[in-house]
Amino acid sequence: MAPGPRQATATHGHVVRALSGLLLAVFVVSLSGTVVATALPRIIAELGGSQRQYAWVVTATLLTITASGPIWGKLADRASRRTLVQLAFSIFALGSVLAGFSPNTEMLILFRAFEGAGMGGLGALAPTVIASLVGPRERSRYVGYFVAVGAIATLGGPLIGGLIVDVPLLGWRWCFWIVAPIAVAAVLLLRRMPELPVVRPGCRFDWLGAFLVPIAICILMIWVTSAGADFGWRSRISLGLLVVSATLIVCSVFVEHRAADPLLPLWLLRNRTMPIALFAITVAGASLVVSSVFLAQYFQIARRYSPTESGLLLLPLLAAVVGATLVCGRITSRTGRVKAPLVVGGALSVMGFALLGGVDDSTSLGSLCLSMMILGLGIGSCAPNLVVVAQNLLDYPDLGAGTSLLTFFQSFGGAAGISVLGAVFASQVSDRASDHTGIEYAYGAASGRVFLICAALAGAAFIAVLFVRESHVAAEQSGGDGAAHDLGAQRPV
């Protein structure tokens, strides 16, 4: 890797101005994903959409989020990060407002895809900006704020969506329009974000990589999100998509290996810790999304709670994620040690999923709350430190591209988790329903099976983080280890 510039830590005022706008932007972006989920059945019914279109409202957003991330990340290493953040958020806000005016399902899918392009930008740019402003030791604390805010929005979304749908004066369109007033405040705050020097001005852009990589990602995501629902895993369509995706990935690797300034620098994978961190981040991304989606479904169908009540029942998970994230972030900032929270969090995640693996339609709420809190403590302890571990391996000029790689695997983990485990869940429900059992029992038992699979995945991630090398991160670093940016001057790369 090329050595990074020698840079000094940004002032507290710079960090606060950047953090306030970014946190609000991340909150509303994370909220938009889950607040719509509760209202989606009613949206599709009122717009006269089909079950296939129901799935594509979600899939279209996932596609553009995941595929656009690497492009935004590379642009972050070549252009004004403040301008890019404002552009990404504007795209998201405009797409969300337009989605609220959708006259039919086809337009809703189109606007959600447009919205996802902005969401992918913020997902890649927000942690890049923070890593540009603060030193390695402080990153855990600040990344923790973002993880906490994202968790609050992700897990609180179903509750807010349920309230919006249940209030006659609002209706489902306000699930999209609710973004507008928050977006205005966020844009005003983002205008105060400090400008960061461009680290690679004038470099030739990797246009071929920017074409191949997103297409490869899109086809892979279509296979992951549609197999088992729109077509069988072993069908010709599934095989064809897999072959095309694999071919494009191989071509992308060849192109990126030869590019002078690649969209996805392959040398990032040479450090042993990076593949471990990427695998664990993939599992962590799947864990938060899968736990919120399947628990909400469990409460509504297996336990017959309303959407609003199911959102309230997720509060123990939410509180544990937020609490663990904030506490572990501060501990890491003070001690400079990152491995202990990873190991403890990994163990708690395995335990939490294993306990949830025993749920059925009659499990006591007290037992469920305890299991969710243990799982939340595990996810909250791991998530911010996984990002920090990976970012501390990056030189400053590669922060954008490297961070977009992290967000890609996190998004892919969530999408793959929902798709694969959704297929397992549907199969389990079908098998149990055919035994003439009640629908509540079928959904309860199927939920338990899904969580047991999650426990196995979390166990694999736990074993992986055991091999992360412990390193003491100094309070401030000079050189190219991703130290914070000197906002007063730009030095040559």
Residue 38 or residue 235, greater confidence: 235
Give the SS3 label for residue 227: strand
What global pTM score does this model have?
0.75
How many domains are contained in the chain? 1
Domain around 393: 12-206+260-465
Write out the two tokens for 217. 């990602």
CA dist., res. 272 & res. 265, Å (int): 15
pLDDT higher than 80, residue 436: no
Q: Looking at the domain assignment, is residue 366 inside a domain? A: yes
Amino acid residing at 314:
L
For residue 110, tell me if it sits in a domain.
yes
**How is residue 264 annotated by DSSP?**
S
Tell me the average pLDDT across 137-150.
76
Model confidence at 196, pLDDT cuts 50, 70, 90, reads low
> Tokens for 8?
């000094």
Average pLDDT estimate for 280-297: 80
Task: Determine contact, residues 91/72, Cβ cutoff 8 Å.
Answer: no
Q: How many of the other CB atoms lie within 10 Å of CB of 13?
A: 10
Higher pLDDT, 436 or 45: 45
CB 8 within 8 A of CB 486: yes
The per-residue pLDDT for 199 is 62
d(CA 149, CA 154): 9
Query: Residue 268: is its pLDDT beyond 90?
Result: no
3-state secondary structure of 231: strand
**Residue 413 maps to which CATH number?**
1.20.1250.20
Q: Looking at residue 12, what is its pLDDT?
A: 64
Task: List, in sequence order, every beta strand (DSSP E) within 178-321.
Answer: none
- What amino acid occupies position 53? Q
Residues 6+ apart with CB under 8 A from 9: 134, 135, 476, 483, 484
Q: What is the mean pLDDT of the chain?
A: 78
**Which residues have C-beta within 8 Å of that of residue 236, sequence separation ≥ 6?**
none
Q: What is the pLDDT of residue 487?
A: 37
Residues comprising the chain, all counted: 493
Q: Is 250 a domain residue? A: no
Which of 65-79, 216-230, 458-472 is predicted least confidently? 216-230
Which of 157-171, 288-302, 452-466 has the least mean pLDDT? 157-171
Query: Residue 227: inside a domain, yes or no?
Result: no
Query: What are the structure tokens assigned to 115, written together?
Result: 């919205």
Q: What is the pLDDT of residue 128?
A: 80
Q: How far apart are CA 276 and CA 53, in angstroms?
A: 36
pLDDT at 202: 55
DSSP per-residue letters across 53-119 = HHHHHHHHHHHHHHHHHHHHHHHHTTS-HHHHHHHHHHHHHHHHHHHHT-SSHHHHHHHHHHHHHHH
Between 476 and 443, where is the model more confident? 443
In the predicted structure, residue 192 carries a pLDDT above the cut 60: yes
Q: What is the pLDDT of residue 197?
A: 61
Whether 362 is in a domain gets the answer yes
Mapped onto helix, strand or coil, the DSSP state of residue 402 is helix
Can you list the alpha helix ranges (DSSP code H) found in 271-398? 273-297, 307-313, 315-335, 339-356, 365-391
> Is 113 part of a structural domain of the chain?
yes
Q: What is the pLDDT of residue 340?
A: 83
422: which strand partners? none
Question: In this predicted structure, what is the pLDDT of residue 386?
Answer: 80
Question: Is residue 242 one of the residues assigned to a domain?
Answer: no
Residue 228 falls within a domain, yes or no?
A: no
